[in-house]
Amino acid sequence: MKTIKSGILLFVTLFLGNGLVFAQSGDEGAEPARTILRFTCINTSDDSIQLKSTLTVRRDEGSMNLANALVQYFAVGSEEDVLISEVKTNYQGIASIKIPTLNSFPRGEMDLFNFKAVYEGAEKYESSESEFSLKPAKLKVSFYEEDSVRYVKVEGTQLNIDGTETPLAETDVNLLVPKMFSMLKIAELYLDETGIGSTEFPADIIGDSLGNLTVVASIEENDIYGNVRASADNNWGLQKHLISPDRPSRELWTPIAPLWMIITLIIMLAGVWGHYVYAVVQLFRIKKSAKANEHKS
Amino acid sequence: MSEIISSDKLLKEFAPQIERTSLVGKIWIIFLIAVIFLGAFALYWQISRGHIVTGMRENVVWGVYIVNFIFFMGISYAGALISGSLHLFHAGWRKPIIRMAEFITIISLLIGPVFIMLCIGRLDRLPNLVLFGRIQSPITWDVIAISTDIVGCLLFLYLALLRDLAKMRDFTELKVPKWKKKMYKILALGYTGTAEQQIMLKRATDIMAGMVIAIAIIVYSVLAWIFSVTLQPGWHSTIFGPYFVIAAVYSGSGVLIVAMYIFRKTYHLEEHITLKHFVNVGVIMLVLAAFFGYFTFSEYLTKWYGSQKNDEQLIGILFKDYYLMFILSNYVGVLVPLIVVGFKKLRTINNITISAVIVIIALWLNRYLIVVPTLESPYLPIQDSREAWVHYSATWVEWSLTAAGVAMFCLLFTLASKLIPIVQVSDLKEEPKQVDDIYMK
């Protein structure tokens, strides 16, 4: 009887345990997940406007990028919206296109283009949309040296509805350098009434192994111009040396281990292997003593 | 004075296990080999098609292979700790079961690291671990520690076997092939049990018993540190070292009880392995269950109370997606041995064995819960992450290789019992028989 009871207990446990590892898939038949469409437009230096959307889906465990989702871009006019293009998101959830600045899309108040990005949704995902307005503009970045001091110069222009260009005046511009994970802000300058601004270039920015740098001038989320970006390269950066060959230091992250770590390891290994050797020596002594006894007998 | 006295009666009793294999035994061995072949096919599949055939992806880079590695290494250290401790404390009742603990140690120590190999995508780069290994890396510590441990445990096992090897060599009635006789003769090192030899052997065995305990603690702590030195939710914990050691011995005590049960039935060792042995190892399991429960509670309580974003997310996953597994691992796995061994009326061999099986399953799941959910909720989400990369589900390839690992463990255990008595003959004396009912009173 005890055996039967024990057997039932084991069976129930195994039955409960069996398949648990498999049964971790997502919820079937759940409500559509909420999607978030982050839409932005960037005036680029090649007389284009980049329309960029990032589509994410909200889940309990956090946000996930939504790939292969169709995003539609519209130019919003006073009458009906004009479809510009349809783009699928990549594995980062980004759908991006570039359109030329000179085009026949309608403009709204203050000469602003109005764009709209739409995700129509799917069975598992809710729809979402977002709008962005901006006036066409562009920046130009250049470098010069005066009395051994290095400067960055930024010129800004805006494109009017009649096709004329006028200075992009009285606006703040950030100077950035792309790094591994994000953009490093190195300076900030102000465009005067002529649309020109300049500032001293910092001497302590690290470039690549030859000191090459890309400097990005950026106007971000301006009420009129939206985002405006332009970049230029120079070799004014400090040359990057990952590890100084002359002064190797003993750190957790360098090729040479800290001394305390080596000493600890040696003491531990010597202690352990010393005892092993002692045990092996005893085995040899046993064998030796066996031979001696054999000779005696 | 020779220690090898006439213990022929005991040897005669254990000789059949070495001399012949029953039909059931042969079928069992064929079955195990078939499972290993299935694993070999899965391995070929994995090598020829790459790791894409497994459930491991960019986010969850470790799966059941690592779980198996931790599990087998755990029961290995448990075997070392239990056999070493029983030897050092001269526990008289240990004699019939200590050989099993020693076999568990060595066999699981040989199988565990194989699962690491299965995890590595580029095996051709394996020598780089030695050629360019950095002492600062816990992976290097682990390689050094495991290789040191294998040598130590082999040495300890050999020392423990020496007297039995001498007995087998001198037992003329043993009907085994010549190669086996020759093997006994070579390995026995001419040991005859003189007083001098006994002293030397005892000295070496005592020292190695102490060493295997110390090494087992250090090595399993090193394995725990591989997890705890990383900044991952659920892993970055100061108590992971002792927690792993306790979990290891706990699961190992379960495996030992199951091995005792199987060999007791298979080789009819009812006279030698009695209820007393099951209860004694069961009590060890009970104490470890309490410690394991305490560590688990402490681990999750502090994380829950701290309410850090990622810890909260991890605990949310554990109690939502993995709640059945979590309950089985951390509640059922702790409470069943406490109840079964804690109440005298429930202490039967069958009940203790069943609770040991539950402990083994629970502890395997515990390792799964440590490895997988954490990788499913990283601090830094990987760029270009896809949904399929975040959720892990093991494939038939991984399950086949897991089954092959378990089959290899059983096969090596079976073959080892065909080479040397599963019970330490040299330590046994012909004592009055212990009957289960007498012990129960």
Paired tokens of B47: 């090598």
Query: What is the tens place of the pLDDT at every residue in B390-440?
Result: 788 899 999 999 999 999 999 999 999 888 888 877 765 544 444 444 333
Taking only the tens place, the pLDDT of each residue in B346-381 is 999 999 999 999 999 999 999 999 999 988 876 666
Which chain A positions have a beta carbon within 8 Å of B392's beta carbon?
24
Tokens matching residue B407: 């089959």
Bigger pLDDT: A267 or A24? Answer: A267
Q: What is the 3-state secondary structure (H, E, C) of A111-128?
A: HCEEEEEEECCCCCECCE
- Are residues A104 and A174 both part of a single domain? no
Q: Chain B within 8 Å of A29 (Cβ-Cβ)?
A: no
Interatomic CA distance for residues A15 and B359, integer angstroms: 15
Q: Which of A173, A169, A168 is nearest to A185 (CA)?
A: A173
Determine contact, residues A231/A216, Cβ cutoff 8 Å.
yes
CATH number at A149 reads 2.60.40.10
Kindly list the distances between the CA atom of residue A284 and the CA atoms of A289, B167, B201, in Å, as whole numbers in the listed order.
9, 19, 11
Residue B2 lies in a domain: no
With respect to residue A7, please indicate whether it lies within any of the assigned structural domains.
no
In whole angstroms, what is the distance from residue B219 CA to residue B232 CA?
A: 21
Residues A160 and A220 in one domain: yes
- Judged by CB atoms closer than 8 Å, whether chains meet at A279 and B208 is answered as yes
Buried b (16+ CB within 10 A) or exposed e, A117-134: bbbeeeeebeebbbebbb
pLDDT surpasses 80 at B382: no
CATH number of the domain encompassing residue B174: 1.20.1630.10
Same domain, A74 and A87: yes
Which DSSP string corresponds to B133-147?
Answer: --TT-HHHHHHHHHH
Instruction: Give domain status of residue B438, yes or no.
Output: no
Average pLDDT over residues A48-64: 84
Q: Which residues pair with A137 in a beta bridge?
A: A158
Residue A8 lies in a domain: no
Which residues 366-425 in chain B show a CB within 8 A of chain A?
Answer: 368, 376-377, 381, 383-387, 390-394
Contact B384 A64 (CB under 8 A): no
CB pairs below 8 Å between A and B: how many? 141
Substitution target in A282, A284, A291 with the highest count of B β-carbons within 10 Å is A282
Same domain, yes or no: A206 and A126: no
**Within-domain flag for B134:** yes
Give the total number of structural domains in chain A.
Answer: 2
A292 in a domain, yes or no? no
Cβ <8 Å between B200 and A64: no
Token couple for B350: 């069958």
Q: Token digits for A97? A: 């296109």
pLDDT the model gives residue B236: 87
Q: Is the domain of A117 the same as that of A145?
A: no
A85 and A174 fall within a common domain:
no
Q: Which residue has the tokens 């010597």?
A: A270
Note whether residue B1 is domain-resident.
Answer: no
Q: What is the pLDDT of residue B385?
A: 61
Give yes or no for A147 touching B (CB within 8 A).
no
Residue B320 lies in a domain: yes
Cβ distance of B358 and A65 shorter than 8 Å = no
What's the mean pLDDT when you consider all of chain B? 86
Portion of chain B with pLDDT greater than 70, in percent: 92
Which pLDDT belongs to residue B125?
85
Q: Please tell me the total number of residues recorded for chain A in this structure.
A: 297
pLDDT tens, residue by residue, A191-215: 999 999 999 999 888 888 888 999 9
- CB < 8 Å to A294, chain B: 190
Q: Which residue among A234, A258, A289 closes a domain?
A: A234
Domain boundary among A96, A119, A134: A134
Best mutation target among B60, B361, B375 (most A Cβ atoms within 10 Å) is B361
CB contact under 8 A, B134 and A255: yes
Q: Does the residue A10 lie in any domain?
A: no
Look at residue A163 and tell me if it is in a domain. Answer: yes
How many angstroms away from the CA of B136 is the closest CA of chain A?
Answer: 6
Residue B31 lies in a domain: yes
Q: Which residues pair with A153 in a beta bridge?
A: A142, A198
* CATH number of the domain residue A111 falls in: 2.60.40.1940
Q: Which residue of B has its CA nearest to A8?
A: B354
Residue finishing a domain among A134, A149, A166? A134
The pLDDT of residue B11 is 77
Distance in angstroms (rounded) separating the CA atoms of residues B351 and B356: 8
Residue B136: its chain A contacts at CB < 8 A? 252-253, 257-258, 261
Residues of B in contact with A258 (CB under 8 A): 136
- What span, in angstroms and rounded, lies between the C-alpha atoms of B312 and B223? 25
Q: A87 and A141: one domain?
A: no
ipTM confidence? 0.86
Residue B281's domain comprises: 8-379+392-428
Do A146 and A166 lie in one domain? The reply is yes
Better-scored residue on pLDDT, B388 or A75? A75
Residue of A nearest to B204 (CA): A279
Nearest Cβ partner for A289 among B159, B197, B358: B197
pLDDT, one tens digit per residue, over B230-268 is 888 888 888 999 999 999 999 999 999 999 999 888 888
**Residue pLDDT, tens place only, B87-144:** 887 776 777 788 888 888 899 989 999 999 898 888 888 888 888 888 898 889 988 9
Residue B18 touches chain A, beta carbons under 8 Å = no
User: Domain range spanning residue A224?
Assistant: 137-234
Burial category of A1 from C-beta neighbours within 10 Å (exposed 0-12, middle 13-18, buried 19 and up): exposed
Would you report the helix, strand and coil content of chain B in percent, each value rounded to 5? 75, 0, 25
- Is B433 among the domain residues? no
For residue A201, tell me if it sits in a domain. yes
Full 3-state SS string of chain A: CHHHHHHHHHHHHHHHHCCCCCCCCCCCCCCCEEEEEEEEEEEECCCEEEEEEEEEEEECCEEEECCCCEEEEEECCCCCCEEEEEEECCCCCEEEEEEECCCCCCECHHHCEEEEEEECCCCCECCEEEEEEECCEEEEEEEEEECCEEEEEEEEEEECCCCCEEECCCEEEEEEEECCCCEEEEEEEEECCCCEEEEECCCCCECCCCCCEEEEEEEEEECCCEEEEEEEEECCCECCCCCCCCCCCCCCCCCCCCHHHHHHHHHHHHHHHHHHHHHHHHHHHHHHHHHHHHHHC
Residues A91 and A169 in one domain: no
Residue partners of B368: CB distance under 8 A and separation at least 6: A21, B64, B67, B325, B329
Helix (H) or strand (E) holding B328: none
Is A214 found in the same domain as A178?
A: yes
Is the CB of B197 less than 8 angstroms away from the CB of A290?
A: yes
Among A96, A33, A93, A35, residue whose Cα is nearest residue A69: A93
User: A78: Cβ–Cβ under 8 A, 6 or more apart, which residues?
Assistant: A106, A108
Q: Are residues A83 and A167 in the same domain?
A: no
A247 in contact with chain B, both atoms CB, cutoff 8 A: no
Which of B189, B208, B325 lies at the smallest CB-CB distance from A20? B325
> B238: which DSSP letter?
T
Whether A14 is covered by a domain: the verdict is no
Number of helices followed by number of strands (H, E) in chain B: 17, 0
In a domain, B366, yes or no: yes
Confidence label for B3 from pLDDT (cuts 50, 70 and 90): very low
- Compare A60 and B158 and report the one with higher pLDDT: B158
Q: Which residues pair with A177 in a beta bridge?
A: A184
- First vs last C-alpha separation in chain B: 40
Could you tell me which chain B residue has the CA closest to the CA of A19?
Answer: B325
A53 neighbors A75 (Cβ within 8 angstroms): no
Query: Tokens 């080789």, residue?
Result: B267
Q: Which residues of A touch B316 (CB under 8 A)?
A: 60-61
Q: How many domains does chain B have?
A: 1
